Amino acid sequence: MTLLVALGMPGIMSFWGNFALSVIASEVFDDHCMFHVETLEDIQNAWKSRTSENVIITSHYLDAGLSAFLLKTNAPYVVFSENAVDSVSYLARQLAREDIGLIRSVSASIACISQVRAHPFLINLDREKLGAVPIHRIIAQICRQLRISLTSSAMVRCLKQLGMDNVDSATQVDQIPTLEKSAQINPFYAAPGANPTNVSENLLEIARSVVQPFDGKLIKDRVSSLIWPQESFLLADKGGEPSEGEIELVGRARCLVYGPYFHLPSGEWNAKFSLGIEHNVYGQIFTIEVHSDGLLSKIRVKPSGTGSFAAEAAFHIDSPKTPIEIRLFTDSGSIEGSIAYWSVELSPIDLSTPDSEHATDVALEHDQDAIATSKETVNYPE
């Protein structure tokens, strides 16, 4: 019985890595099964329906249950990753679409894969680091990690299937393609960092704010912070159109903006909500809610005057696969006023630091009716 596990962000690296793994398995095993799974139920069904004792499991979006199961196994893992903006661009080419859902998909994959970073037998193969490396070295690394071996003739056959031409021996290193050359077998290939003509600059800017901060930090280290910009949110008054420009306050008490349905890795997070008030809102109170698997946090903020204001709330993520929705409400009607800009900065809370400035106990509601929020003042939930 052999179980091989390959996880990865959607993109060129994951496509190539999974194909290479299938090619290797064809040489090593008499037969094998390959399943793409996302949930514990998926892997249970795959196990029941397998036609071989040699099973390869791949996943982009493993949920918390599947992650917990995999963390208990001793099976070695390979994680394929690449630049997050390249991943967004790849999905745009593959799916022939251009919308914020592409960024949501990449953020979901990053958040889901991060759940297994504590696994002791895990190796990360990153496109940016391996692009110029001859593929026989990458294949050898995969084999070592997965505790399988290839004969010299089997290696040559693998290399030929992965794009090497007119070579009879793996010792002819000068004829062995690099990862980037080999990856061109993918019909949706584009060079890493290439200026994507299939994605608008506005969408790229959102991707750079939301998912690019995770580059190089999928398995090791932690992101310091990232921004969910106003353009990634939706206007409640306009049927879910993207929020651009001023957010009008005139009217009844209501939800102003909501979204953006991105994902975060599991753990404790701090959200800093920034608002720009251009016209005096005369005591207007704003309620900000964070939802995922239920209500994660709720605060009420009362800006004083005009200018830039900030409020903060801490919350815990248990299910990275569940998107996050933030809602901004007015608590009463307004006859004038607007929000010039709105954004959310997210940063992980390091609970290992005893002097952490963020509270670890999160209250669901903090009533600030009697508290005037001064410019650039931060209000923490009690």
In tens, the pLDDT along 294-319 reads: 999 999 998 877 788 899 999 999 99
Looking at residue 365, its pLDDT comes to 35
CA dihedral for 367, 372, 375, 376, sign (positive or negative): negative
Element (DSSP H or E) covering residue 329? strand 324-330
Classify domain 2-185 by CATH number: 3.40.50.300
Structure token pair of residue 191: 């060079």
DSSP character at residue 366: B
Confidence grade of residue 375 (pLDDT, cut at 50, 70, 90): very low
Answer whether residue 173 shows pLDDT above 90. no
β-pairing, 122-126 vs 77-81, is parallel
- pLDDT digit string (tens) for 14-41? 999 999 999 999 999 989 999 999 999 9
Looking at residue 157, its pLDDT comes to 93
Hey, do 2-185 and 225-382 end up sharing a CATH topology, with the first three levels equal?
no
Per domain, the residue ranges of the chain are: 2-185, 225-382
**What is the average pLDDT across 174-191?**
93
Tell me if 207 sits within 8 A of 324, measured CB to CB: no
Answer whether residue 371 shows pLDDT above 90. no
Query: By CB neighbour count within 10 A (0-12 exposed, 13-18 middle, 19+ buried), where does 113 fall?
Result: buried
What are the φ/ψ torsions at residue 298 (nearest 5 degrees)? -150, 125
Classify domain 225-382 by CATH number: 2.60.120.260
Residue type, 371: I
The model's pTM is 0.88
